[in-house]
A = this chain, B = another copy of it.
């Protein structure tokens, strides 16, 4: 059984005086098993398979709690819905996204802080110092054309 089930997350909830319910466990399990960037609705339908009675509002409320606890992270890919990603086990990892403006494909480039150095670490230090600003997290997206869509465009 993965370590966070009934473990890490449950403990974090309890420390904060929050209750660990089957609904919350189901949502955390979905987030941790499905990789990628899920929308609230996608999570809702996924959890519905296990708990058919779940409500969409509960998913939103749980996601907000999970975000406050640092268990999930929000992303906005400008498609009209917020997307969520499970970050337990990679708390300090940095994400960089390449988003294709044609097909919407998202390439996730992730830095494992134990292995590699953040490629824009120096730039962050520079900005922190220049503006006396404490950077807590970053949201770095590059928009453009993926390989396939560029090939299709080139042929036209």
Chain A residues within 8 Å of B, Cβ to Cβ: 74, 76, 78, 96, 98, 100-101, 107, 109, 119-120, 122-124, 126-127, 130-147, 150
Contacts and interface: CB of A to CB of B under 8 A. Distances in A.
How many monomers of this protein are in the complex? Answer: 2
Nearest to A107: B131
A152 to B, nearest CB: 13
A78 to B, nearest CB: 7
Given A76-B76, A76-B78, A78-B76, A135 B142 contact: yes
A56 to B, nearest CB: 19
A145 to B, nearest CB: 4
B143 A136 contact: yes
